[in-house]
Amino acid sequence: MDAIPARWAQKMMDSYRDEGGVNTSDEPGLPSKPEISALCLQIMQLLFPGYHDTGSIGKLELATLTNERVSALAEDLRRAFQAVLAGKDDAGATVTVGKLFDELPAIRAMLQTDVEAAYEGDPAARTRDEIILSYPFLEAIAIQRVAHFLYRHEIPLVPRMMTEWAHVQTGIDIHPGAAIGSHFFIDHGTGVVIGETCRIGAHVKLYHGVTLGARSFAKDETGRIKKGGKRHPDVEDNVTIYPNATVLGGETVIGRNSTIGGNVFLMHSVPPSSLVYNEEAQVRVVAKSSKGDTVDYSI
């Protein structure tokens, strides 16, 4: 029987050689998904201490714990950056880590505006602590805001892995390239998709199922999709987009103070202060009778 597992193992080795898809440490190795998951949890613990731990944190231990966490996270980030930079820019990895930690207080301040937007925008929210502890959008936007900083500083792969971790955790898919203003709130959140080249202003509120996506993709002469370019819409300040609306296209702009109704499908710009909605479909309401007959209440 020992020969059979050996044969299977050799077949897998042949597949690794022929098809690739192996992350080995001598090439150098890329960060693994568990490594990035651990990084994301470290980031959340640093951004919101005591909310992502096994319990609350005593005030007297906060300074010591913060020093330990900063040191550990800085080293883990540096290693991850060096891996994706293929070991060619160790100094650049260290510099980017420093810039990120310099920026984290400003990111925390921005996240507080998101918490405030949720508190003011959702009558079900009783406290701000409830939002930090139980609203999935906050986890998604917290990781995205950190990932966006790394994306702008041209760290490859890691930002995308971070936002995909948040996607798995929350059901909210925000590309790290999306630029998002202050006081951002996604109510419920499940199924929201925000593409790479979106630009979103301040005080924007989205509901579940909203897609800010791309239209059909241009292709080159060989039939391959062209990368890059502005593909996703812009959403200006004070816009609300209701559930399951789809807004597509890099030239599409939703003007400030506009409201997009539920289930709207939109591929063109709308001016500021617009209300966009579908005409109401005919709805029939009938009463059930014990004999299976119906009484039509439609008007």
Residue 144, both tokens: 């995205």
pLDDT recorded at residue 1: 53
**Residue 144 reports pLDDT greater than 70:** yes
Q: What is the mean pLDDT of residues 140-158?
A: 97
What amino acid occupies position 131? I
**Residue 270 reports pLDDT greater than 90:** yes
Q: Which residues of 105-143 are buried (b: 16+ CB within 10 A; e: fewer)?
A: eebeebbebbbebbbeebeebeeeeebbeebbbbbbbbb
Domains of the chain: 28-171 (1.10.3130.10), 191-280 (2.160.10.10)
Q: What is the mean pLDDT of residues 218-232?
A: 81
pLDDT band at 70 (very low <50, low <70, confident <90, very high): very high
Q: What is the mean pLDDT of residues 157-176?
A: 97
Residue 68, both tokens: 């330990």
**Residue 230 reports pLDDT greater than 90:** yes
How many Cβ atoms from other residues are within 10 Å of residue 70's Cβ?
Answer: 14
**Residue 148 reports pLDDT greater than 60:** yes
What amino acid occupies position 53? D
Beta-bridge partner residues of 253 = 234
Percentage of the residues of the chain whose pLDDT score is greater than 90: 71
Q: How many angstroms separate the CA atoms of 209 and 200, rounded?
A: 17
For 256, the enclosing helix (H) or strand (E) is: none
**Residue 298 reports pLDDT greater than 80:** no
pLDDT recorded at residue 10: 86
State the residue for tokens 């559930």: 243
Q: Note every long-range contact of 120-125, with CB atoms under 8 Å and residues 24 or more positions apart, other chains counting.
A: 121/185, 121/187, 121/205, 122/185, 122/187
For 287, the enclosing helix (H) or strand (E) is: strand 286-288
pLDDT digits (tens, 9 = 90+) for 10-62: 888 889 888 888 887 666 678 899 999 999 999 999 999 989 988 888 889 99
pLDDT recorded at residue 74: 96
- Which region among 52-56, 95-99, 109-113, 197-201 has the lowest average model confidence (pLDDT)? 52-56
What is the length of the chain? 299
Q: What is the mean pLDDT of residues 192-207?
A: 98
